[in-house]
Amino acid sequence: MKNMNTKYCIAFIATLLASLTAFGADKLCVIFPETTNLIFTVPIHGNTGERPYDFFLEFPAEYEDDGRPTKFERTGLGYYIFVEVIEETDAGVRCKLKVDCHNLSDWIPYTFGELVMLQPVLSSLSTDTEITLPIGEWYPLGVFVQKNNQLLSWKFLFQREEKSQQSGPAYPPQGVGSADP
């Protein structure tokens, strides 16, 4: 029971720290195609922001004659978002965007003599573009998918930094003298 409480406390503290570091930074919100209820928010510190893949998959890519793997490949799986702010214009914020959604669809068995080796089948939907996003408005970016002959669309929202209420003049608590010496 004690371990469960410790895990919950650690998760709570990590969430709290993540929310504190995100406060005050510009943000890019992204909705991936076919995930209407899933909004990813990427804090932008300086000129860049990144949301890494959910996890990574490493698998054999080349084999010896006896079937032993000699070379491995590594790929990210899940959702990835990278944004770089290039400049602010009258129309909005010009950004470089790279968004990916990589999925592990299946495993294909290959026989090599008496050995059976499995290779992953990966699918992805991604874009790498430079675009001007309006500030504070959702902006759709459609992508035509050859396989299904359909138009899928990402949605992006660039949000401006929120100013803290404490950024004004220093006012002392009630009952305390003037802030100025």
Mean pLDDT of 25-41: 82
Write out the DSSP string of 27-74: EEEEE-TT-TT-EEEEEEBTTEEEE--SEEEEEEEEE-TTS-EEEEEE
156 closest CA partner among 26, 11, 29, 50: 29
Q: And the tokens for 131?
A: 């675009």
Of residues 58 and 67, more confidently modeled: 58
Residue ranges per structural domain of the chain: 2-160
The pLDDT of residue 49: 93
Q: Is the pTM of this model over 0.75?
A: no
